[in-house]
């Protein structure tokens, strides 16, 4: 029963974290646009000055920022919904509990896609955001978030022993 208490709690905390970050980004929209725009502009990439991906102009920055925001919102809401489903099923039989994991897995999985895929792969490898302070800070945090989501997925995916 301990796992059936911890799993929804961890998923809920991840969902809350995702929503808190995106809410702060939206409250500070100018700063968020500035950070995204700085990375996508390829400005001050002093180490690797040539890039495979094209620089993105300021007019397109809000579109890319809102793609990130929507992924974060979706991850957060799916996690909270999934946590509620897990919490509601915690006293039920194993098959019912296992079937309640779907939304939580989807939310955590979308967290991995967001912070590993969008930030790590596209931002880090594609736009070389590690080359400057603004990007390196975001990339470091994205690594933590994607690892937390992945660890949550691994823990959530463990089936309980039927013995």
Rounded to whole angstroms, how far apart are CA atoms 17 and 150? 15
The full set of domain ranges for the chain reads 2-46+55-157
Say what the pLDDT of residue 163 is. Answer: 45
Say what the pLDDT of residue 162 is. Answer: 57
Per-residue pLDDT tens listing for the chain (163 residues)? 899 999 999 999 999 999 999 999 999 999 999 999 999 999 888 888 889 999 999 999 999 999 999 999 999 999 999 999 999 999 999 999 999 999 999 999 999 999 999 999 999 999 999 999 889 999 999 999 999 999 999 999 998 765 4
Say what the pLDDT of residue 99 is. Answer: 95
What single-letter DSSP state applies at residue 163?
Answer: -
The pTM assigned to this predicted structure is 0.93
Say what the pLDDT of residue 20 is. Answer: 98
Q: What angle do CA 137, 143, 147 make, to 5 degrees?
A: 150
Taking alpha carbons only, the member of 102, 9, 99, 113 closest to residue 71 is 113
Taking alpha carbons only, the member of 156, 67, 143, 140 closest to residue 108 is 156
- Residues across the chain: 163
């Amino acid at each position: 029963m301990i796992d059936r208490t911890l799993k929804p709690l961890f998923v809920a905390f991840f969902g809350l974290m995702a929503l808190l970050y995106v809410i702060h980004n939206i409250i500070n929209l100018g700063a968020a646009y500035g950070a995204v725009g700085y990375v996508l502009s390829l400005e001050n990439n002093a180490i690797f000055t040539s890039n495979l991906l094209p620089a993105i102009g300021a007019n397109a920055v809000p579109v890319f920022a809102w793609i990130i925001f929507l992924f974060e919102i979706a991850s957060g809401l799916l996690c909270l919904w999934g946590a509620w489903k897990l919490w509601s099923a915690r006293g039920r039989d194993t098959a019912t509990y296992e079937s309640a994991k779907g939304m939580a897995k989807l939310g955590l999985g979308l967290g991995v896609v967001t912070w590993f895929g969008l930030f790590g792969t596209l931002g880090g490898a594609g736009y070389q955001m590690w080359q400057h302070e603004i990007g390196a800070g975001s990339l470091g945090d994205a690594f933590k978030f994607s690892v937390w989501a992945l660890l949550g997925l691994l823990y959530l995916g463990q089936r309980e022993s039927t013995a």
